[in-house]
Each structure stands twice: as structure tokens, then as C-alpha cells.
Structure 1
Amino acid sequence: MNLARRAGAELVGTAFLVMAVIGSGIAASRLSPHDVGLQLLENSLVTGAALVALILALQPVSAAFNPVVTLVERALDMITTREVLALVPAQLVGGVVGAVVANLMFGLDAVSLSTHERTGGGLWLGEVVATLGLVMVIFGSVRTGRVETIAYAVGGYITAAYWFTSSTSFANPAVTVARMFSDTFAGIAPASVPSFVLMQLIGGALALAMVRLLYPRPREARA
């Protein structure tokens, strides 16, 4: 398939994912200003639902929306280095576009650097766990030939991981970078981004080892 089309799908999909994360965070903070738990519930449900829809729509072209997932695909020889060099920048650009559009939709400045610091051992461990689980869910489905289940598995997992991980499951370097450009409920301070991304890469590497252990030989996808 044309690599430009695939990169375009990754850009668009990541942009809409970030719009869902940031936009629903802004809406939740305005609709439920005094209940952080309800805000998180609203944010998680919208994000999970958006993921299901986006993956279903774009999976026939390309629907990783996540540099860690793309890097694991490369490690498993599912894609080439040339493809990685096209898809990862598209995901990063798409994420930033999504953040800008989300800010503008809600009448905010196009870019406002977040002041929401997210740091500490518990949060970093949460990002390792969140990313490990996400990658395992994706490639567990892929390696057992059940690619038609990925959208629902990912949407369900991320909705749950918002709650059972201390970091609220960013689990995506492109989304993490994008969220620093919105000083809102879903934002993350620039100084907190490098540690989060590092933990996501560690989680991805651990997941890669787990996938190879649990699913040593991929099966053909079922129709």
C-alpha cells in the first residue's frame, strides 16, 4: 500500500485521538467542575470510544497512532525501517495538530504549554504498566490471527487503564508530546514528558519480550 496514504492515515488518526483526549478533558472540566472522578470517567469513556471508531475506520490503511506500537511492529519484522521513518513523524505531527484543534474548538489559545506536572516513581511505573499492557493487547490479537478484535480490545483496555494505572495511561509518545501543548485537564508539563516517553519505551520493550514468549509464531488472520 502507498506509504504516503498510510502516513496520512496515521496523521489523521492520531490527530483525532488527541482531539478526543484533550477535547473531552476540557468538556469534562467545564461540565463537572467540582468532581475530578467524574471528569476522569467522562475523559476515559470518550477516549476509549474514539479509539474503537478510529481503528475500525482506518485499520484497512494504517491505525497504530502510536510510535511504540510502530517500533514494535518493526522489531517483529512486520514493517520496514523506511516505513517507521515515515509513520512515526506523521503520528507526532498529527498529535500536535490534534492538540491545537482541540484548544481552538473550546475557545482557547491554539497553543498553551501545560503546567500540569506529572512526576514520581509511581506515575513512571504506571506508564510502564500501561504501555506494556497496551502493546500486549494489540499484538496478542495480531499474533493469534484476530485482527478484527483489535479496535474493541484497545478501546476497552485504554478505558480501563485510565483508572487502574496511576498515570491515567498515556501509553503513547505522540499523544504525550501533544498533550504538553494544552494547559487543560489532560495536559502534561513539558518537563514531565521525557520521563513519560522513556517509561513508555521501556514498557514497549518489555511487551515485545512478552509477546515473543507467549506468541512465538504468528497465525494467519481470520477473515
Structure 2
Amino acid sequence: MAPRWRRLLAEGIGSAMLFATVIGSGIMAERLAGGNLAVALLGNTVATGAMLFVLVAMFGPVSGAHFNPAVSVVAAARNDLGWGDAGLYAVVQLGCGIVGVWIAHAMFGEPILQISTHARTGIGQWTGEAVATFGLVLTILGTVRHRPEWVPAGVALYIVAAYWFTSSTSFANPAITVARSLSNSFAGIRPADVVPFVLAQFAGAGFGALAGGLLFGPHPSDMRSA
């Protein structure tokens, strides 16, 4: 396992790059799509999936490339990561992810500090978030256990698909949900809608971990080096 400082640095840089991609591609897509939301979502999807592939391939051997507190909690619950490290991962993921959001705003000449007014609420969207996070965790556990070389592609392809088959467009990440509340852009979410999303995500992650244990066995999946 890499030293803690190196793992935290990987999680921080990766989270900043991922969150900047989600927000930046959303701004670019909205500007270029001419009001066509399907085209805007497609642009946002492709950029996010491509960046996920690169980041997981690059940082997976260093930190596990979680970039997601729900994934870090699952790793800790499976004894692949210490609980203290999981807490540090989550702090770095959120803090550096917010910096990534601000960088995206700066790149596109937007106000750095924003609050989203984009409503995302209701049982349908909460269910979508639970399903999205369930599938993400299951994808990670399955590929890490049986085809570790497929983890980057599996995660990226799953998120690309989940953008389109879930009603919530698959945030599937508590840190990015909070960070997106700080961007009044295509990818934003109202602060008032954040808590139900995060609860749904952790519930989905828990069920994903349970299903992964039943399907792929109880042994640690070594998510430290996903």
C-alpha cells in the first residue's frame, strides 16, 4: 500500500479533476446544445465517463481511486481500508472536489462562488440515486474480484449508462452531490435537495456491498488498489 500522504494526494487530485469535469462539461454542453437538454446531457455523460476511465486507471494503483465517500465507507466495512483512512479520504474528496468545482467556474468565466437553484427531488429521483450507487458499488466489487484489469472501463461504462437509465442522472457520490450544490449550472442541485440524495446513495451503497458479498464471496476485495 502506498504511504497515506500519497493516497490522499491521489484522492484529492482525482476528485478535483473529476468534479471539474462534471461541472465544466455541463457548462460547455449547455452553452453549445442550443437548449437541447438531451444533447447537453450526452456531452456531460461522455466527458464524465472518459475522465473516470483515465482517473481510475491512473490512480487506482495508488489509492484505489475512490473519489467517493460511499465507496470509501464500503471499503472500510470490508476491511480493505481503515476507518480513519476512510474518514480522511472523505474529507479530501469533498474539499478538493469543491476546489475542482471552483476551477470549472473560473475556466468558463463564471462567478466562483455559487449556490444552485436546480431542483432535484422526489421519490423517483431518490430511488434513482439508490439504484445508481448500488450498481456502482456492485460493479466495483465484481470487477475488482474477478477482472481487476476491467475496473476502469467497468466503472466508466456503468456511470455512462447510469446517466441515462436513472431518473436522477446518477450522482452516485455524496461528495459530488454536496459540491454540485455550489454550482448553479447544468449539473447543479439545490442545497435543500442534497440530504435525501446522500441518504439514498449510502443506502444504495450498503445494499450494493451486501449483494457483492453474497455474489462474490465474503473475502476482502482489496479495494485499496481497485
- Superposition TM-score, scaled by structure 1 size: 0.96
- 1:58-105 CA-to-partner distances (Å, cap 9, x unmatched) read 112111100000000011110111211221111111110111101111
Shift of 1:219: 8.6
Name the residue aligned to 1:5: 6
**Is 1:97 aligned to 2:99, yes or no?**
yes
- Superposition TM-score, scaled by structure 2 size: 0.94
2: CA distance between counterparts of 1:187 and 1:81? 30
4+ aligned runs moved over 3 Å, structure 1: 217-221
Counterpart code for 2:123? G
Gap change, CA 1:108 and 1:42, over 3 Å in 2: same
**Is 1:169 aligned to 2:187, yes or no?**
no
Percent identity of equivalent pairs: 46
Name the residue aligned to 2:209: 208
Counterpart code for 2:62? V
Shift of 1:107: 0.2
2: CA distance between counterparts of 1:160 and 1:220? 24
TM alignment of 1:121-132, pairs within 5 A: 121-132=123-134
Q: Equivalent of 2:138, from 129, 136, 149?
A: 136
- Of the structure 1 ranges 22-31 and 78-87, higher mean CA displacement relative to structure 2 is found in 78-87
Q: Equivalent of 1:118, from 117, 120, 145?
A: 120
Please tell me the root mean square deviation across aligned C-alpha atoms, in Å: 1.3
Task: Say if 2:105 and 2:112, in contact at 8 Å, map to a contact too.
Answer: yes
1: CA distance between counterparts of 2:87 and 2:164? 33
- 1:162-192 CA-to-partner distances (Å, cap 9, x unmatched) read 0000000000011111111110000001000
Equivalenced residues, count: 220
Name the residue aligned to 1:64: 66
Query: Unaligned regions of 5+ residues in structure 1, if any?
Result: none
Shift of 1:34: 1.7
Shift of 1:33: 2.4
Counterpart code for 1:85? G
Counterpart code for 1:82? G
Name the residue aligned to 1:150: 151
Name the residue aligned to 1:88: 90
